[in-house]
C-alpha cells in the first residue's frame, strides 16, 4: 500500500517529481525542442506559456514538486480531452504549455 503524497517525506516527493519531469522531458521536451528548432515561431509562444506558468506558480524560482504537479494536471486534462500530445506540426495549447514546463525545470 502506498502513502498519500502529502505523507511522503520532502525528499521522496522531490524524487517522484524529478522522475515525472524526466519522463516529460523525454516525451514532450525532446520532440518539442526539435519542433521549435524547425519552427522558430513556436519559441515566442512557448516563452509566453513559461511566463504564465511562473506567474501562476509564484515566481522565478520554481519548485520541481510544483512543476511536476502542474504538468501532471495539464497532461491528464489534455488526454481526457482526447489530445494525444504528439502532433508537433500543429501543437495544441497543452503541448506548448508542457514544453514551457520543460524549459522551467531547474
What pLDDT tens digit does each residue of the chain (106 aa) get? 454 556 778 888 889 999 999 999 999 999 999 999 999 899 999 999 999 999 888 875 688 998 999 999 999 999 999 999 999 999 999 999 999 999 999 7
Look at residue 93 and tell me if it is in a domain. Answer: yes
User: Residue 79, Cβ neighbours under 10 Å: how many?
Assistant: 12
Look at residue 41 and tell me if it is in a domain. Answer: yes
**Number of structural domains the chain divides into:** 1
Asked if residues 23 and 81 have their Cβ atoms less than 8 Å apart, the reply is no
Grid coordinates representing 42?
513556436
Look at residue 3 and tell me if it is in a domain. Answer: no
Q: pTM value? A: 0.87
Residue 44 contacts by C-beta under 8 Å, 6 or more apart in sequence?
none
Q: Domain of 65?
A: 8-104
Residue 5 contacts by C-beta under 8 Å, 6 or more apart in sequence?
13, 16
Amino acid at each position: 500500500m502506498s502513502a498519500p503524497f502529502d505523507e511522503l517525506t520532502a525528499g521522496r516527493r522531490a524524487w517522484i517529481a524529478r522522475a515525472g519531469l524526466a519522463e516529460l522531458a523525454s516525451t514532450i521536451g525532446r520532440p518539442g525542442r526539435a519542433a521549435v528548432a524547425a519552427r522558430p515561431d513556436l519559441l515566442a509562444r512557448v516563452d509566453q506559456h513559461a511566463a504564465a506558468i511562473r506567474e501562476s506558480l509564484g515566481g522565478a524560482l520554481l519548485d520541481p514538486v510544483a512543476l511536476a504537479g502542474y504538468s501532471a494536471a495539464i497532461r491528464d486534462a489534455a488526454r481526457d480531452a482526447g489530445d494525444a500530445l504528439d502532433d508537433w506540426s500543429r501543437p495544441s495549447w497543452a503541448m506548448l504549455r508542457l514544453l514551457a514546463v520543460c524549459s522551467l525545470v531547474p
